Structure 1
Amino acid sequence: MLQKINILTLLIISLSLSACDFFKFKSDTEEDTGDQIVALVGNQKLKRSELRFLTFQGNNEQDSASIAKQYIQSWVKKQLMIKEAGKSMAFDEAELNRKLLDYRYALMVYEFEKSFVESNSVGEIKAEEINAYYDAHKENFNLKEIIVRTNYFKLEKSSSQNRNLERLLNSKGENTSDLRQIALNHASNYYIEDSTWVRFDEIIVGTPLSENNNKVQLLRNNKLIKVEDDTYTYYFKILEYKLQDQIPPVEFVRDEISAILRNKKRLELVEKLQKDIYNRAEENNEFKIYE
């Protein structure tokens, strides 16, 4: 339910503002005296007090005036549209009122459910939960781009460490500390995260490799990719890769799955809230359903 209402939130707010202006809901105790009118469209008035909800905190006087001016312009445009619609079409005011109340109550329920979820933490999503969800739904996570595990180095072509670096990258032994030493002391840029999956297009941006139009073939044929420009030599030690439309490893979609499970727990909280309220009302005979 949260998902459905969340989609309508912007529409609700817009309709609520417009409809409230159209039907002019107003309490008997509201006073007109001393409240400056800042805009007028036909019989509809926008008063200074109605701008109080605008957030000016942290803005200077010029910014605050600009925000107020934008809101007033928006209000005038909406009133003109409402006025034009009223002249061009016949509206059932009772039906419009019903829809407005439906939207208003939907927003009230949404805010109530949101407050309840925020005050009842869903807790940390455990690794076992993520892995179980991944195993059951991995086919839904087909890649839209190439991802890789790689070590990347950018060295000046004149660097004395180019040959040593290439030797280390081609070797099969454990040499992480040696690579890190070269990276820290000689590389203009580097990336040593051999357990982390990254988007290939992100790691090669700003290098001659970004202009290569056959990256799939390049990855299939090379464990070490070496490219140059006028100043630098770029090294990409490809440890593993996944192509488009393949299933990504769980590490790459861990955050996405965590968000899915967190939202699922939020929905379960809302469903429990609705059920508890219903059961309590039923026990207290607060409603009756006629056959």
Structure 2
Amino acid sequence: MQLQNIILFKKVRVVSVFVLLATGISCGSIFKKEEDREPLARVGKSYLYKDDVEALLKDNVSKEDSASFVTNYINNWATKQLLLSKSKINLPEEQLKEFNQLIENYKTDLYTRAYKEALVSQTEDTIVTDAQLSSFYEREKENFMLKEKLVKLRFIELSAQFLDKDQVASRLDRFNAKDQKFLDSIGIQFKNLNFNDSIWVKASRIVNEIPPLTFENEDRYLKKSQFFELQDSIGVYLAKVTDVLNTNDTAPLLFVKPSIKQILLNRRRLELIRKLETEIIDDAIKDKEFEVYVKD
């Protein structure tokens, strides 16, 4: 692939810009790799190099698209550099000092955060035992109040034309060993099903799964030991509610386990970071890399 004279950027009154373009480009990349960095453009003392742009190019784009991308990139880069140069000349000195301080603070935060994350990832213990989860739950139970009703239920969705609906409903309600085996054997005929009634599910999720069920009528159907059948033009919805927890009840441990685990891991991480920071200070003082000259 050959690419010649992609763009010539205009000279600017205060700062000149020139563009050096590559010729004889191979198919895999617009720019050849060279030992010395070769400039594409200059604004004042700032240079844009081939390898800066090369990393952004994709192999599967056409010559024309690549040329257009490079042209736009160079122009955008030059515009930013020129505006930056102008801002340093024309903005008030106090504002420039403030911006420079913000830049330094951001750079420091970026480096230190990345370094701390790297140290923590090497030493962090991410295992949280069931005993630790249970212990935290028992201590903090009052902080785990439900903001939404939770329900345990069995559920089957049938097509509107399903022939043996009554038998399926009866077996789903009773649900002894024979019933479970029977329903499992014909489960492929159901549009949707859930036989695991040991899991707590948010009422809002159930309302979304069963269209005839709404937030206005859910209290009529989502009651402990309630069996209900609802129907619309799409299908028939059968459900047996086995347990219910209402808003402001204490959330069950199984439901809040993921949240508790994350809380414990976050606390562990913060404690580890504080320990690392203390050790860094202590080591620096010991090695005379850090001294404080301010007297009390």
Regarding TM over 0.5, the answer is yes
Instruction: Return the TM-score normalized by structure 2.
Output: 0.69
Taking the aligned partners of 2:246 and 2:73, their CA distance within structure 1 comes to 47
- Aligned positions of 1:22-33 closer than 5 A: none
Specify the code of the residue in structure 1 equivalent to 2:48.
K
Q: Which runs of 5+ in 2 are unaligned?
A: 1-35
Contact 1:153–1:183 (CA under 8 A) maintained in structure 2 = no
Answering whether residue 212 of structure 2 is matched by residue 209 of structure 1, we say: yes
Taking the aligned partners of 1:71 and 1:262, their CA distance within structure 2 comes to 46
Taking the aligned partners of 1:243 and 1:46, their CA distance within structure 2 comes to 65
Specify the code of the residue in structure 2 equivalent to 1:36.
L
Taking the aligned partners of 1:246 and 1:67, their CA distance within structure 2 comes to 59
Cα distance, 1:206–1:127 mapped onto 2, change above 3 Å? closer
Answering whether residue 72 of structure 2 is matched by residue 35 of structure 1, we say: no
1:47 matched to which residue of 2? 48
Taking the aligned partners of 1:262 and 1:100, their CA distance within structure 2 comes to 32
Post-superposition CA distance 1:45-85 (Å, at most 9, x none) = 6724584596667x743798898758975995797599579
Match of 2:118 among 106, 115, 119: 115
Post-superposition CA distance 1:225-258 (Å, at most 9, x none) = 2101235210121112223343321111211221
Match of 2:157 among 154, 157, 172: 154
Contact 1:183–1:189 (CA under 8 A) maintained in structure 2 = no
The structure that is helix-richer by fraction is 1
How much identity, in percent, do the aligned residues show? 21
Taking the aligned partners of 1:260 and 1:185, their CA distance within structure 2 comes to 41
Cα distance, 1:188–1:126 mapped onto 2, change above 3 Å? same
Specify the code of the residue in structure 1 equivalent to 2:180.
S
2:229 matched to which residue of 1? 226
Contact 1:201–1:210 (CA under 8 A) maintained in structure 2 = no
Post-superposition CA distance 1:79-132 (Å, at most 9, x none) = 759957975755343443333222212211111101111222323111111122
2:274 matched to which residue of 1? 271
Cα distance, 1:33–1:55 mapped onto 2, change above 3 Å? closer
Moved over 6 A (4+): 62-68
Cα distance, 1:208–1:263 mapped onto 2, change above 3 Å? same
RMSD: 3.8
Contact 2:223–2:241 (CA under 8 A) maintained in structure 1 = no
1:192 matched to which residue of 2? 195
Answering whether residue 164 of structure 2 is matched by residue 164 of structure 1, we say: no
Contact 1:170–1:224 (CA under 8 A) maintained in structure 2 = yes
Taking the aligned partners of 1:215 and 1:66, their CA distance within structure 2 comes to 58
Contact 1:183–1:190 (CA under 8 A) maintained in structure 2 = no
Answering whether residue 120 of structure 2 is matched by residue 126 of structure 1, we say: no
Taking the aligned partners of 2:250 and 2:68, their CA distance within structure 1 comes to 49
Contact 1:194–1:239 (CA under 8 A) maintained in structure 2 = yes
Q: Which runs of 5+ in 1 are unaligned?
A: 1-31
Match of 1:91 among 71, 86, 94: 94
